[in-house]
Amino acid sequence: MQQVMQQVQDTLLPMVQTVNAYLSDYILVGLLIAVGNEFAPGNPKPMGERSAYVKALCAQPEMARAMASLRPKGLAGNKQLVADLLLGRHYTLLALLYRIKNRGK
């Protein structure tokens, strides 16, 4: 019986780890989309409120767990920079870079 349980565990563990990796990736994608929307040029909130919202969003337990376990590499264009700034908790710098990117829009 113990041998059967070990075989089941050996079979299921890689599958569960793969599913967890995909879920964490989707959480990160969702976070990147939420951050992009928060700093969109049409958002009427002041920059300080936007930055505070992103900081609070990243402090949510699900986001914090995903950010602690992920170190994405190879994202396209500015997404890598945004992910690195989020994972490093550099919210003010991120807000300033979005302000520069969106000036005149």
Domain ranges of the chain: 2-102
* pLDDT of 96 strictly over 80: yes
What's the predicted TM-score (pTM) here? Answer: 0.68
Interval 46-83: pLDDT, tens: 988 999 999 999 888 888 877 777 767 777 878 888 88
Q: Is 19 exposed, middle or buried (0-12, 13-18, 19+ CB in 10 A)?
A: exposed
**Cα distances (Å, whole numbers) of residue 104 to 24, 72, 92, 93, 101:** 35, 31, 20, 19, 9
Mean pLDDT across the chain: 83
